[in-house]
Structure 1
Amino acid sequence: MAKRNLLEGKKILVVDDEPDILDTVAELLSMCRVTKALDFESAEELLERESFDIVILDIMGVRGYELLEVATGREMTTVMLTANAMSPEHMQKSRNEGAAFFIPKEKIKFGPDWQKKHGIGVR
């Protein structure tokens, strides 16, 4: 009997202002039905119009806290994706506002161009 991936077929919204991040996350979640949004307005419209099993939000570039409020208000599981905002204050604020989890961008296997641009993994 083949094992089934727990994420298989889940409907996921990924919101980030960097297209390479959206593409990488979508590729990593290829077993899911991924919808991507590059900006606050597109994401807000999608959140109000559709329902998602998981919403992955960039904290900074797309007004992530406002989108977190919309997503949690509709009882969607929300994960915060961040490169530079992993301070205890940001983590506590996100948690208080309903984020289920955090994913530091440096833990995702992005290409060398993105890593260099953000000073991650480059010595």
Structure 2
Amino acid sequence: MAQKSYLDGISILAVDDEEDVLDTIVEALEMSKVDTAADYETALQKIRNRHYDLAILDIMGVNGLELLEKTVEKGIPTVMLTAHAISADTLMASIRKGAISYLPKEKLSELEHILDDLLTALAAGKPTWQVLFDKLGGYFDDKFGPDWKAKDKEFWSEFSRTYHISKGIQSRLKHDKRILSKGI
């Protein structure tokens, strides 16, 4: 018997200013309840007024990094999605601000499998970023160059030491009602 996907029936907010990208996400995640927004203001209202189990935010066109701060405050695990803003800098910004992953739009065809693996890791308390780098580390090396982490050696060294409790996870935990209610 096949194991149930973590995506089955969950509520997802997908935010992108490109309608075809939103259509692709809705189609790829048909087993989930996907709500969409094509601009910052609509997305912000939805984040404020509804509960989501996961958010997928474009970086460009919808102020995705600002929206990320709002989803983290609400305790919504968030995946950043980008094509035009794909860079080591936006990857690091996504980590710092609390995203659980960072996906290039080129990988939308793998979205269901990547998200299921990320949510499986998240549920098990494992580092989601390790899942990403295991799956897409070669992609980032090709895109950014083989020594791309050397430019920000201190950041990546600290990140490697604290995979489990990265700054992003710490940021999410500060807003997790389950943790806060225990006085931790």
TM-score (norm 1): 0.85
1:71-110 aligned at under 5 Å gives the runs 71-109=71-109
| Match of residue 28 from structure 1 | 28
Q: RMSD of the alignment, in Å?
A: 1.0
The answer to whether the aligner puts 1:19 opposite 2:32 as a matched pair is no
Instruction: Report the 3-state secondary structure (helix = DSSP H, G, I; strand = E; otherwise coil) of the residue aligned with 2:70.
Output: helix
Contiguous gaps of at least 5 residues in structure 2: 110-184
More helix by share: 2
Greater Rg over alpha carbons, structure = 2
Deviations 1:17-45 (A, max 9, x none): 00000000010000000000010010000
Once residues 11 and 98 of structure 1 are traced to their aligned partners in structure 2, the CA distance between those partners, rounded to angstroms, is 19
Once residues 46 and 4 of structure 1 are traced to their aligned partners in structure 2, the CA distance between those partners, rounded to angstroms, is 28
More strand by share: 1
Deviations 1:15-72 (A, max 9, x none): 0000000000010000000000010010000000011110000001101011001000
Once residues 19 and 82 of structure 1 are traced to their aligned partners in structure 2, the CA distance between those partners, rounded to angstroms, is 14
Structure 1 stretches (4+) deviating beyond 6 angstroms?
none
Once residues 28 and 17 of structure 1 are traced to their aligned partners in structure 2, the CA distance between those partners, rounded to angstroms, is 18
Aligned residues: 109
Of 12-21 and 84-93, more deviation after overlay is shown by 84-93
TM-score (norm 2): 0.57
1:2 positional shift: 4.7
Instruction: Report the 3-state secondary structure (helix = DSSP H, G, I; strand = E; otherwise coil) of the residue aligned with 1:108.
Output: helix
1:86 positional shift: 1.8
Partner amino acid, structure 1, of 2:107? K
Deviations 1:76-123 (A, max 9, x none): 0000000021211111111100011011001123xxxxxxxxxxxxxx
